[in-house]
Structure 1
Amino acid sequence: MEMEKKGIKSIEVGFSIVKAVSRSDEPLTITELSKICNMPKSQIYRYLVSLCRIGFLKKGSDLRYALGDELISIGIRAMENVDIHIKAQPFIKQLNKTLDETIALAIWIENEGPIFISWEESSKLIKINVRVGSIVPLTTSATGNIFAAFYPETKTKDLIDRELSKNQMNQKQLEETLSTIKKEGYAYTQSYLPGITAISAPIFGPNKELVAALTVIGLSGVIDISENSIYTKELLKTAKEISRELGY
């Protein structure tokens, strides 16, 4: 038991470096990683060499580090084994075909928050790409609002408090928003990303627990967020169908 508690520190450190790279929107230099991970360059360099050697990271010609092909391959295989991903995919494709807008599926990752695991882009000239593996905020995104409203408070509270403090947001206003979401059964936002509108709906499992959020993403002025719009109706209908498929 005591040996199990100790673990292998170097693996944990290496994973923290990989995590820092995965959270960044662009490749990072060794200097940037040194600051993020609070490690001396000489120490982090040795980890970077090994992580690149096994394919978990890759070093570009500009000396910046990004996720490696081997890690991406492992991630894809892991997502293929996620039950919700497999069962929801036919419904996501059909919703994408019906609305011709980008459709994304997000699940909860412990201590991280909502993360996109699947998406289908529209066929329109102006496309909105969703980065699989990206984490979305609980307080300012439609997808995050679904988890903030329906996921257990014991899981979301710390992350919500952190976001409220960081962004100097009003807690009472958030509570009112979440209360409306619970009443109406869906969330929307037109301010998380300029020019982008998103509508999100909950997907529940057999024990009435929230297991995922299904989101329609498109250009502002095109997507109608009202309760009786085709976007909202088709989204809610699909979310219910997936929930039934999961045993809800």
Structure 2
Amino acid sequence: MPKLKRTAEETEARREGPEFIESLDRGLRVLRSFGIDRRPMTLSDIAKACNLPRATARRILMTLQKSGYVVGDERLFSLTPHVLTLASAYLASNQISTIMQPLMDEVSAKAKEICSLAVLDGDDAVFVARASPARVFPSGIDIGYRLPAFCTSVGRVLLGRLSNEELAAAIDATCLKSQTPETIMDKSLIVAAIIIDRSKGYSMVDQEAEAGFRSVSVPIHRYDGGIIAAANIGAHVDRITTGEMIDRFLPLLKEMAVTAKPLLV
């Protein structure tokens, strides 16, 4: 039997007790690996991406294939649409998306721009809902899209819920990767920017996450004041100035956040 390769995370989890199911964790890692290169993958690709022996990766793939989540011909493997049932289960059971969607639709119609909603997942901001006016072709950021939290307006709003000490520790532990020439890479400056944004009640990021794109975000609070999501409106720099974003979009986002607060538990 081939010796199993364990990641540092798996080793740590094994120390925590018998409740951790390694086989389930490996299966989830295989599913996530398909998003790395956005193409069908070979068995060797998957085994390498997941740090697993080929035999283990193959057994997982055969199980996923029989369950309908993966399709393959023994050479190339890819996900099937059945994987979307996992995402739809999250969206259907998540009150944030359900409550925020109609409010976002209204904001998007008034702003005539796309309005998006994101939550924090590790070091990333993950978009879980969006609204688009009829005249705007829905492209770019979509549901499930991930961006580094440290350099995005939604991410900085979400990180702002941490205390100063927790924030400094979180940024210090984050592996920063420049997204554009404008991305701030000095960790002390990032922490300072998030603290300033927290005091303002919103975050504006100008071309740090994506070249030619700026956005403004506000925190979405639940009924007790806790920040559970962030809503933003973004636009290309050629169409909207930072001043226009503050004057036109920020009041709409803040009004939406106030309306949503008593509805979110």
Q: Given the two structures, how large is their TM-score scaled by the length of structure 2? A: 0.78
Partner of 2:52: 39
Residue identity in the other structure for 2:219: P
1:137-148 aligned at under 5 Å gives the runs 137-148=148-159
Matched, 1:243 2:261: yes
In 2, the alpha carbon distance for the partners of 1:185 and 1:86 equals 24
Deviates more, 1:153-162 or 1:203-212: 153-162
SS of 2:190's equivalent?
A: helix
1:33-182 aligned at under 5 Å gives the runs 33-59=46-72, 63-66=76-79, 68-109=80-121, 111=122, 113-124=124-135, 127-151=138-162, 160-165=171-176, 169-182=185-198
**Alignment CA distance shift 1:157-1:18 (3 Å):** farther
Unpaired runs of 5+ in structure 1?
none
How many residues are paired up?
A: 242
Q: Measure how far apart 1:152 and its partner are.
A: 5.5
Partner of 1:185: 201
**Alignment CA distance shift 1:176-1:6 (3 Å):** closer
8 Å contact from structure 1 (residues 121, 129) kept in 2: no
Deviates more, 1:188-197 or 1:113-122: 113-122
- RMSD of aligned alpha carbons: 2.9
Q: Measure how far apart 1:224 and its partner are.
A: 3.5
8 Å contact from structure 2 (residues 214, 234) kept in 1: yes
**Alignment CA distance shift 1:200-1:125 (3 Å):** closer
Matched, 1:215 2:227: no
8 Å contact from structure 1 (residues 223, 231) kept in 2: no
SS of 1:188's equivalent?
A: strand
Q: Measure how far apart 1:144 and its partner are.
A: 0.8
In 2, the alpha carbon distance for the partners of 1:134 and 1:152 equals 27
Q: Measure how far apart 1:208 and its partner are.
A: 1.3
Percent of aligned pairs sharing the same letter:
16
Q: Measure how far apart 1:63 and its partner are.
A: 2.4
Q: What do the CA deviations read for 1:141-180 (whole angstroms, capped 9, x no partner)?
A: 1111111212457876665334355559212211221122
Partner of 1:202: 219
In 1, the alpha carbon distance for the partners of 2:168 and 2:49 equals 24
Residue identity in the other structure for 1:53: K
Q: Measure how far apart 1:243 and its partner are.
A: 1.9
**Larger-Rg structure:** 2
Q: Measure how far apart 1:35 and its partner are.
A: 2.0
Q: Measure how far apart 1:195 and its partner are.
A: 1.7
1:218-229 aligned at under 5 Å gives the runs 218-226=235-243, 228-229=246-247
**Alignment CA distance shift 1:9-1:183 (3 Å):** closer
8 Å contact from structure 2 (residues 171, 187) kept in 1: no
In 1, the alpha carbon distance for the partners of 2:96 and 2:153 equals 20
In 1, the alpha carbon distance for the partners of 2:237 and 2:217 equals 15
Q: Given the two structures, how large is their TM-score scaled by the length of structure 1? A: 0.83
**Alignment CA distance shift 1:99-1:173 (3 Å):** same
The match for 2:249 among 224, 231, 240 is 231
